[in-house]
Structure 1
Amino acid sequence: MFKRPNSEEFPAYTRNYIKMIPEGDIVEILTEQLDTTYNLLSQVTEDQAGYRYEEGKWTLSEVLGHLTDTERIMAYRILRIGRGDQNPLMGFDENEFVRKASFYVRPMAELLEDYQNVRRATISLLKGLPQNSLKYRSNANGFDVSVETVAYMIAGHERHHLKMIKEKYL
């Protein structure tokens, strides 16, 4: 059973993300988020998808693409750590990823389908992990983290961006 990590189990920069997620079954939380995020963003028009709330900020479609890319990377970390791999995992530059991805030219419906596929794959991965692997730890982006921690980071990262979407974009 997954358990929300305590503050000694995750990097300080993710503290606010993890604090946004209540104690509970992270697979259920991620499944609920899938529905919530899809329902919210499936109503977005192409004009809204191209909106930037401030010069230099990402468009709404870029935010969704960022969520999907970040989850792909985090799920890869879960796979590696969950299989006992002790090789350090590198970080990534999210701004560079967004710049190179051209999310703004893809229809919102396509970006949403991609998001759904990635989230379903993450959920499937987490469901298939042996119970003892949830506490496995390794170095990711210079920080010692567990499988559980990374799963909660995915949920918290999305919750953070959904809050921003509601406040700044919609």
Structure 2
Amino acid sequence: MFNQYPIGKFTVKENIQKEDIKGWIHDIGDAPKQLADAVEDLTKEQLATPYREGGWKLSQVVHHLADSHINAYTRVKLGLTEQEPTIKAYDEVAWSNLPDNELPIEVSLQLFSALHKRLHKVLNSLNEKDLKRTINHPENGEVTIEQLIATYAWHGKHHVAHIMTLRNQKGW
């Protein structure tokens, strides 16, 4: 069995530099292609395989990324348009068990791609002041926009690594 965190656990970097942000924004822009490439040519049976023992099926990972990044997009926009908004947390496991997760992964791949085009456009327009704006997360406390960017750049790469690690293990 492979590591639950194939690229390591997310940690908030101290002293975030412009180059860090630029790299994370690039990663966010590239995430839809990385995800599409990771699941390309997988069969229904392969997509029904958990990425690790006790983990989600690969199809659930794809749907989860769309769900999660809907929240990312909303959180960034709230953070940019409201004064220190308190955002809503959500139960990702409960979301993963809703019937829309039975749809073909292409639906979530398209949604993920469209979200990231819009998110990428917004992120590329941010200035220093925007990056320091904050949201309040009910579990994580105060989070800056630049920390959100880092989080979701990591999150996309994290789940693509789950898929690719399983593919490599299985020889797919």
Pick the TM interval, shorter chain.
0.7 to 0.9
Q: Quick check: 1:84–1:136 contact (8 Å CA) kept in 2?
A: no
Q: Deviations over 1:111-143 (max 9, x none)?
A: 221221122122122234454211111212331
What is the TM-score when the length of structure 1 is the normalising length? Answer: 0.77
Give the counterpart of 2:129 among 124, 129, 132: 132
In structure 2, do the counterparts of structure 1 residues 30 and 87 end up closer, same or farther at CA, with 3 Å as the change threshold?
closer
CA offsets per residue over residues 50-80 of structure 1, 9 Å max, x none? Answer: 2225665321111111111111101111111
Aligned to 1:12: none
Q: Does 1:151 align with 2:149?
A: yes
- In structure 2, the partner of 1:34 is 32
* 1:73 matches 2:71: yes
The letter of the residue matching 1:88 is: T
1:101 & 1:128 partners in 2: Cα distance?
36
The residue identity in structure 1 corresponding to 2:145 is V
Could you tell me which of 10, 21, 26 is aligned with 1:17?
Answer: 10
For structure 2, the residue ranges without an aligned partner over 5 or more in a row are: 1-7, 14-18
Partner amino acid for 2:165? E
Tell me, which stretches of 5 or more residues in structure 1 are unaligned? 1-14
Distance across 1 between alignment mates of 2:30 and 2:135: 28
Aligned to 1:141: 138
SS of the residue 1:17 aligns to: coil
121-130 vs 63-72, which moves further: 121-130
RMSD: 2.5
* AA at the equivalent of 2:78: R
Partner of 1:61: 59
Give, in whole Å, the separation in 2 of the partners of 1:141 and 1:153.
Answer: 16
Work out the CA distance in 2 between the residues paired with 1:53 and 1:92.
22
Distance 2:12 2:150 in 1: 9
Match of 2:161 in 1: 163
Structure 2 length-normalised TM: 0.76
Distance in 1 (alpha carbons) for counterparts of 2:29 and 2:161: 18
Match of 1:112 among 106, 109, 112: 109
Structure 2 SS opposite 1:144: strand
- The share of aligned pairs that are identical, in percent, is 19
Q: Distance in 2 between matches of 1:134 and 1:163?
A: 27
Aligned residue identity for 1:135: K
Q: What does residue 97 of structure 2 align with?
A: 99
